[in-house]
A = this chain, B = another copy of it.
Amino acid sequence: MARSMHVRRPATLASLAAELGVSRTTVSNAYNRPDQLSPELRRRVLDTARRLGYPGPDPVARSLRTRKAGAVGLLLTENLSYAFRDPAAIGFLEGLALACEDAGTGLLLVPANPEREDVASVHRAGVDGFVVYSVPDDDPHLAAVLERPVPTVVCDQPDMGTVDRVGIDDKGAMYGLAQHLISLGHRRVGVICMRLARDRNDGFVTPERQHAAHFHVQRNRLSGLAEAFSEAGVDWSRIPVVERFDHNIASGESAAAQVLDADPQITALICCSDILALGAMQEAARRGLRVPHDLTITGFDGIREAEQAGLTTVRQPVLEKGRAAGKLLLDTNERARPRSVNLSTELIIGKTSAAPRGASEERWFGP
């Protein structure tokens, strides 16, 4: 066999064409447009490719030429692995993955460590579009994404006016939950929320910080609460609101402890997520507080674990949110951009909310 053994460089489409004595176009067509050349030649091309160890057209070179990467990027601005620990994030991912596989598109998880301000990963991502999921509105990664000349859809973010958006009415949903509690008779409540900004502030939250929160979702949920309770005659500035940077059960526990220590008289603990609420339940149990008899606890999200626990919460369609984001991004119909999609939520009244212990029911019917 005269097969040259000095082939250090792997075969390319050009070298294959040279070997065959045909043009590069023809080799390209053998892979991409079988109808553009005779079956015999095509077979000959493919056989020679195998013989030379040519693995087929290089995906990156193809992407450069066709201006298509065949993938969408997902920006989470959390340690990437966080996405796999939070049930709501997992649901979102599943929905997004669903939309991607329908379109035959890849899904690139972009590493965006919130600690370092390293935006290079966003610049390096070879994608046809971005989905940005619940990052602070002042996040440099978000800014970097918006500078990229590709379609983007933001999720659980404020409407930017320039890119598609998917979300829910966080404020309205929380307002509804608050009204439920108010109608039960709760006036003296405590609140536990997730991180409000990029800086860690594990403790009480001033009204200013609530207002200036960089996480759209948290800001709106708090604002819904504030509005409802203010309308009910409660001085919102006196309500203890505790923030936790890390989002896990332990945070819910310690935050609940902090609120209950600050005001043992509260009758309800409103949590901005189910995870935090589940933690609060544990702290309540530790203190011997019976839920809902001694203390009402509510969550937000409607994750499975919450359902099992019978938690009073707001269910939001996390999977649908992911799917909607994917569909919006992959829908080539550019006309109507930017679009804004609001998904509906549902108030789930579980076994963790009831009238406060001392409350007389009649009080709400009297003059």
Contacts and interface: CB of A to CB of B under 8 A. Distances in A.
B81 A101 contact: yes
Contact of A107 (B53, B80, B97): B80
A79 interface: yes
A335 interface: no
A34 to B, nearest CB: 13
A97 B113 contact: no
* Most B-side CB within 10 Å, residue of A10, A69, A113: A69
Interface string A93-125: 111011011001111111101000010110111
A337 B322 CA distance: 39
A70 interface: yes
Interface string A187-231: 000000000000000000000000000000000000000000000
Interface in A55-88: 55-64, 69-71, 73, 79-81, 83-85
A148 interface: yes
Contacts of A358: none
Contact of A106 (B56, B98, B111, B148): B111
A83 B107 contact: no
Interface residues of A, number: 50
* Most B-side CB within 10 Å, residue of A69, A70, A71, A121: A71
Contacts of A53: 149
Given A109-B109, A110-B106, A125 B81 contact: no
B64 A61 contact: yes
A109 B113 contact: no
Nearest to A31: B123
B106 A55 contact: no
Given A59-B124, A59-B125, A94-B81, A106 B108 contact: yes
A80 B62 contact: no
A349 interface: no
A111 B121 contact: no
A126 interface: yes
Q: Which 3 pairs, one residue from A and one from B, show the smallest C-beta to C-beta distance?
A: A84-B94, A81-B97, A80-B101
